[in-house]
Structure 1
Amino acid sequence: MEKLHPPAPRIPLSNASTAAFVILSMLLTAFVFLAVYPNEFQLQSLVAGGCEPRRLRSTNFLDPVALPAPDPQLRILIGVLTVPDSYQRRHLLRDAYFLQPNLTVNARIDIRFVLCGLTTEEQRVLVAIEILRHGDIMILDCEENMNEGKTYTYFSNLPGVFNGSTGGETAYDYVLKADDDTYIRLDALAKTLDGMPREDLYMGLFIPCKNITDRMGWMTGMAYALSWDLVEWIARSEIPRNHKTLPPHGEDVVLASWLRDASLGKNRFDMNPRMYDYYEEPTPCWSHDFIPDTIAVHKLKNDTKWAKTLDYFNLTVGLRPSNLYNIHQLKR
């Protein structure tokens, strides 16, 4: 006798409709996110790629979609040497650079805050948050120092960090080392470098004052630029590797000695008076009042000096009136 099988259980119509509706809703949601917000699924890769060249300004997914910009004719990296605990200074610098007017030359300027290894749990967490939010931190394998080889570590690591990240092209035309108490006007910097040689370049504020022919001189540490070929030379040469320091001299004097010993950096450009210290008292040659065609102002050691500097260069010019504040009505 043929064995009878019990009939398959029937799903109530209401449950089947509910399941179909849920599945359809999930498929529709997935389609919308893939079609309308495809970049959302790349966020993690953007955060993790902190060592790859990218602009200082972080992506804002509320901004309208813009057409891709043409390839820059000039690529500049500014490495701001600082220390892990200087959170407030880094935030101020980000705002100061973010709010500058757009460049008038076809240039790309990337800014990185250069630290040595982290030493506390607080640093590990707070610096990690900065990396996730801004992607502009570079951590070197060294102990934090001012005159014990950090400059060499910075320059010598760059070719390896950016190797292959630009499809075989040179990563940058120029690399700057800058202090975190220096304010650099990016458009003035880009326009100046755009007219300079792309090789064997050494540019900054030269010491001794206005004596660029002095072979024993050097560019001050406020901010100076090297062409990319010199950065690659530092990475591979025995001269800097074996002479990272030269007590009692500072690291910027040492770098000048590397170039001198190798007969390099012959395209030297002194940016006096366009690079200078914040004026407080008469200083021979390199400290004076603000001037319109400034490239960099140095020794901004406190908020008052930063405020006066940024005010002179009209950084708050875009502030719009609002019922939420009256910032020009100061209480005395």
Structure 2
Amino acid sequence: MSLTKKRIRAQAIQLNRVFLRPLATSSSSSSATPLPSTSPSPNSYIPHPYPYPHPPYPMSSPLSPSGSSSGPPPIRFLRKRSPLRSALLLLLFAATFGALWLLIQPKEVDLARYAAGREAERQSPFGHTPQRPGPPDRRPSPSAKQEEERPRPAVPDAPTVPSSSPPPEEEEDEDDEDSATSPVHPVWEDPKLYRFPPIEEEKPREIDLRWWVENGATWFLETIPALRDAPPPSSVGCTNSLSHGPLLLIAVFSTAKSWEKRDLIRVLGRQGLGEDMEKEVQFRFVVGRTGDKQWEDRLRLEMDRYGDILQLDFPENMDDGKTYQFFRWVGERPEGERPRFAMKTDDDTFLVLPNLLNAISSLDCSQNIYFGTSWGACIQNCYPFYMRGMAYGLSWPLIRWLTVANLAYDEYRSTEDARTGSWFLSLPEGEQMFVLDLERRLGDHDGISIPINSGTVALHAMKSNWLWAEIGVQVMKAWAQEGKEYLFTRSGAVQTRALPSAEEVETEASAS
């Protein structure tokens, strides 16, 4: 054997000793790793504690002195070829197969019961109709048997004197028999294509808000002593002139981070105002305290630049008193800056200013007026009458009455729009309350019953900036397609109209 072969063989033997040598156990130190007896060089590898391949981990390990066991926890019942493991797998397979079998079974539907339920919903007096101001008709719908038993008016006898001209001959039609037996279905009209009457025809009417307390309302029914004891709104004066203040103060509720939406409203949301209405209509973006220094600094720069942001000394919130704090701020304005009407709206609402101003410019600000829409509000078995929070407003006497009362925290928190409507349940005795409910003229832009045309007053729920701008442009195009100018001027406004008296309200109710 040559010298080279001997060296290679010696190195192979040494490598076998290093890498394949069994672990030498020692009673003194179980974790000690033995080194080979001879090492070819100081840089030799340390052997692995276990020979290759590794033996399986022990099923149970003794606890170490520190109280923790080494290695994975014992799972004896899941080891291979365990009867319990086989039983569990069989049970899981059976449960999966049973669930799939139930899913593919045909469902039995009681069509008669379903049809009866749909018919009851269709004939219900409350089905898919909003509560209009005033007591609605809560009489139950007559049944089919009652309709058959209802007495019919007597048919008068034919006249004895013959007429001068003979009656026209009736032409026989082959389809008469078919038309007589087939039911006549009413023509369905798409609510999105509905055309509103002129906005000037919308009139406020007196309403008894206590009616809902006795007929179905369940929330916010308590009387607030601070409002009862406050000076009545009728004692607060208001003149319909610019000397009292602007016609309308629009408060757009926003947040510090919604600066892009505020820029859109400054450019697109103020469209439709004539030059003579610049001082009559004011915008304020109402925000609260954010607690973030970066956004507070940016908001302060925006306030210095535009001067149309009102930051309340109150934490930013939606239903925790922001609306009441705003109305209190309005009620504390000095003379000459007191608006005749103030309204709250959201920054995802597009206001059609020409229609809005046409609706309120002729109202008497000295009356207790509450305007907005109750279309879609939860009134039946929910709250007393209220206007939805997308856009609603109050006249100056009501604002001042709320300011002087100085409500406690529990009296203005919770759902802000329903809470606002509940305040008027505490009006002092003898105070008249008028509401201007514009109903379907205001609503969500994607609502199936909300048209978008020249009669719309406000559209809601445009969260993204591009959608808000798109809906606004769509409204303006609808005006142009109908040949109307998207503009409101004082010269074209309706003269101040008197509110209806109690006799006129009763006459209109009896006629309807």
TM-score normalized by structure 2?
0.42
Give me the whole-angstrom Cα distance separating, in 2, the residues matched to 1:265 and 1:123. Answer: 45
* 1:257 matched residue in structure 2: 422
Mark the CA change 1:125 to 1:211 in structure 2 (over 3 Å): closer, same or farther.
Answer: closer
Which residue does the alignment assign to 1:177? 344
Counterparts of 1:170 and 1:137 in 2: how far apart (Å)? 16
Which amino acid is 1:110 matched to?
Answer: Q
Match of 1:127 among 293, 299, 314: 299
Cα distance, 1:107 vs structure 2: 6.8
Cα pair distance change 1:235/1:180, threshold 3 Å: same
Query: Hey, what's the Cα distance between the residues in 1 that align with 2:378 and 2:363?
Result: 19
> Residue in 2 aligned with 1:205?
373
Residue of structure 1 equivalent to 2:450:
288
**SS of the residue aligned with 1:294?**
coil
Q: Residues 1-332 of structure 1 correspond to what in structure 2 (within 5 A)?
A: 71=242, 75-102=247-274, 108-160=280-332, 162-163=333-334, 168-169=335-336, 171-198=338-365, 199-207=367-375, 216-238=384-406, 243-246=411-414, 250-262=415-427, 266-279=433-446, 282=448, 287-314=449-476
- Could you tell me which runs of 5 or more consecutive residues in structure 2 were left unpaired when the two chains were aligned: 1-240, 481-512
CA distance in 1, matches of 2:328, 2:310: 13
Deviations 1:270-289 (A, max 9, x none): 11121121025x3xxxx423
Coordinate RMSD, CA, aligned: 3.2
Deviation at 1:265, TM superposition (A): 7.0
Task: Find the residue that maps to 1:218 and give its secondary structure.
Answer: coil
Q: CA deviation at 1:105?
A: 6.8
In structure 2, the residue matched to 1:58 is none
Which one has the bigger strand percentage? 1
CA, structure 1 residues 106+238, in 2 after alignment: closer, same or farther (shift >3 Å)?
A: closer
Q: CA–CA distance in 2 between the matches of 1:153 and 1:211?
A: 25
RCO (CA 8 Å, sep 6+): is it higher in 1 or 2?
2
**Count of residues paired in the alignment:** 235
Instruction: Name the CA distance, whole Å, in 1 between partners of 2:463 and 2:432.
Output: 31
- AA of the residue aligned to 2:404: R
1:116–1:140 contact (8 Å) kept in structure 2: yes
Q: What runs of 5+ residues in structure 1 fail to find an aligned partner?
A: 1-69, 319-332
Distance in structure 2 (CA, Å) of the matches to 1:208 and 1:240 = 29
Deviations 1:179-234 (A, max 9, x none): 1100112222111101223121100011566999x981110000101001111111
- 1:62 aligned residue: none
Q: Work out which of the two has the higher radius of gyration on C-alpha atoms and give 1 or 2.
A: 2
Tell me the SS of whatever aligns to 1:140. strand
Percent identical pairs in the alignment equals 25
Would the aligned equivalents of 1:208 and 1:217 in 2 still touch at CA under 8 Å?
no
- What is the match of residue 57 of structure 1? none
Q: CA contact under 8 A between 1:222 and 1:298: conserved in structure 2?
A: yes
Deviations 1:258-309 (A, max 9, x none): 11122567111111121121025x3xxxx42302122111111123422331
Shift of 1:94: 0.9
| Aligned residue type for 1:255 | T
Distance in 2 of aligned mates of 1:83 and 1:99: 23
Q: CA deviation at 1:154?
A: 1.0
Change (3 A) 1:159 1:98: same
- Residue 100 of structure 1 and its aligned partner are, at CA, apart by 3.2
Per-residue CA deviations over 1:116-162 (Å, capped at 9, x if unaligned) read: 124222222211221122110001011111111111111112222x2
